[in-house]
């Protein structure tokens, strides 16, 4: 199982960057990786996933150093709970989906779960000229969930 998780969640990002770099060389650009709050907060039975998401942060920093001279910026977004079909699948396997959703909502000081649009807006910002001096870092997009200790 760990091989599959690392292949998809870490090696895939490495290979994407490796094969994108030649097309960006000489032109500059931005790569925005998607990590997770799991890079900083771990849960039971998620060791492989947590390790892969923490690895994306390390990979992001290393690639920012490698590609910086070519004016290629590399950053990562670390989403928290996001209202997606995966979230729906997770809720569906909970013994009490309503209680699980209520608990998840209680983790978020902003009072809601994130949306795909929240992540898209963060990615658009990091890829834009407005972020031209931002590279080698990550943006946590989680409604202050990790700040609240969750």
Catalytically annotated residues: 49
CA–CA distance, 119 with 82 (Å, rounded to integer): 9
Beta-ladder partners of 34: 77
- Decide if 76 contacts 30 (C-beta within 8 A): no
User: What DSSP element (H or E) covers 109?
Assistant: none
Beta-ladder partners of 32: 75
Beta-ladder partners of 63: none
Q: Is 149 exposed, middle or buried (0-12, 13-18, 19+ CB in 10 A)?
A: exposed
- Decide if 81 contacts 142 (C-beta within 8 A): yes
């Amino acid at each position: 199982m760990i091989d599959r998780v690392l292949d998809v969640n870490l090696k895939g990002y490495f290979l994407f960057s490796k094969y994108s770099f030649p097309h960006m060389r000489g032109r500059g650009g931005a790569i925005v990786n998607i990590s997770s709050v799991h890079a900083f907060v771990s849960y039971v039975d998620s060791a492989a996933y947590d390790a892969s998401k923490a690895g994306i942060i390390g990979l992001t920093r290393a690639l920012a150093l490698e590609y910086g001279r070519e004016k290629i910026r590399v950053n990562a977004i670390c989403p928290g709970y996001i209202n997606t079909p995966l979230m729906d699948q997770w809720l569906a396997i909970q013994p009490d989906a309503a209680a699980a959703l209520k608990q998840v909502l209680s983790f978020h000081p902003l009072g809601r779960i994130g949306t795909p649009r929240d992540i898209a807006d963060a990615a658009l910002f990091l890829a834009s000229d407005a972020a031209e001096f931002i590279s080698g870092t990550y943006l946590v997009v989680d409604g202050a969930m990790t700040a609240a200790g969750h």
